[in-house]
Amino acid sequence: MKLSVLDQSLARTAEQAAQALRETIEMARYCESLGYERFWVSEHHAFPSVAGSAPEVLLAALGAATSRIRLGSGGIMLPHYSAYKVAEVFSLLANLYPERIDLGVGRAPGADMSTAVALANGRRPNFERFPTQVAELSDYLWNPDAKPLVSPRPPAGMPLWMLGSSPDSAMLAAQRGLPYNLGIFINPQARPELVKLYKSRFQPSALQPEPYAIITTSVFCAEDEERAKALQLTYDLNLFRFVTGQSENRSLTPQAALQYPLGPQERSFIASRNVSRAVGTPAQVKAQLELLAEQFAADEVMVVSNMYYFEDRQRSFKLLKEVFSA
């Protein structure tokens, strides 16, 4: 099974963004040394605990810090931007780091609506225009006669990925003949039928003659199950506190999370996220990921391990790669 990594540059406090970005660069080097296929970074805005607001900038730093691993955006939120400008930026990256750059695009705002309006220069983003933007972006990347000219010219075969967690994204990827990344870590209730829909409706394109699907899921892997569950609980509680406005831009430590009084809301939130992720020892995580890959008919699995301590994330990726290489 091909294994890849999504990194979200999580900061433990709003003041630790610089450290979070340094950790992302170090993690890319580390995952390259372990033999992972890809290392993608995300786009979020107005999230004090997420430092990765500009994946295109971070990718330039990651390319300079690594030499082999594929690097990509998971993803560029296209409705905020001009398709032409995105084509220019990623063409530049692909010329800097030949045959290593993946351009993943999505429709979600990656922010609250007021922030989305600020990104769109005071206008409401036209999310309904997303399919047209994808067509324009494809043309800029792959049609040498497209106007205006993209400079530098995109390398031949520059990959464009569709990201999503809904039937709309699956159908658009199929219609455009694009590889598809289904974010079940975003939507744990996403059903395997989405990948089946994508593959059954896939229309071959010049660059993608066959459908190709990645599922991106959360992984919490440790030497013992109790430790893995503690790491998972810490993340779940921090996410719950953030979305309910209780976090005050600070994350609970694993030690504090274990002492946190769980109420019905917290328990329900955690249970809703348990259906589509892998938690436990290396052997347990391997079995869970293989089952998910089979259920979703995935060609590749991308994992995100949002753990409080950098060393725990490193250890999780190491244990995971070792158990799949054994």
Q: For the chain, what is the largest distance between any 2 Cα atoms, rounded to a whole number of angstroms?
A: 62
pLDDT of residue 50: 85
Residue corresponding to tokens 């993946």: 102
Phi then psi dihedrals of residue 231, to 5 deg: -65, -40
Contact 136, 105 (CB under 8 A): no
Burial 302-324 (b: 16+ CB within 10 A, else e): bbbbbbbebebbbbbbbbbbebb
Instruction: Write down the pTM of the prediction.
Output: 0.95
Contact 25, 65 (CB under 8 A): yes
- What would the two tokens of residue 74 be? 């998971």
Contact 321, 35 (CB under 8 A): yes
Number of neighbouring beta carbons within 10 Å of residue 47: 19
pLDDT of residue 240: 93
Question: What is the gyration radius of the CA atoms in the chain, in angstroms?
Answer: 19
Q: How many residues does the chain have?
A: 326
Question: What does each of the 326 residues of the chain score in pLDDT, given as a tens digit?
Answer: 999 999 999 888 878 999 999 999 999 999 999 999 999 999 988 877 889 999 999 999 999 999 999 999 999 999 999 999 999 999 999 999 999 999 999 998 767 888 888 887 777 777 899 999 999 999 999 999 999 999 999 999 899 999 999 999 999 999 999 999 999 999 998 999 999 999 999 999 989 999 999 999 999 999 999 999 999 999 999 999 988 988 877 889 999 999 999 999 999 999 999 989 999 999 999 999 999 999 999 999 999 999 999 999 999 999 999 999 98
Q: Helix axis angle, 282-296 relative to 310-325, nearest 10°?
A: 70
In angstroms, rounded to a whole number, what is the distance separating the alpha carbons of residues 129 and 120? 14
pLDDT of residue 265: 95
| Domains within the chain, CATH numbers bracketed | 2-219+282-325 (3.20.20.30)
Contact 187, 285 (CB under 8 A): no
Whose CA is closest to 63, among 51, 52, 75, 73? 73
**CA 216-221-222 angle, 5° bins:** 170
pLDDT of residue 126: 79
CA distances from 288 to 52, 282, 323 (A): 29, 10, 12
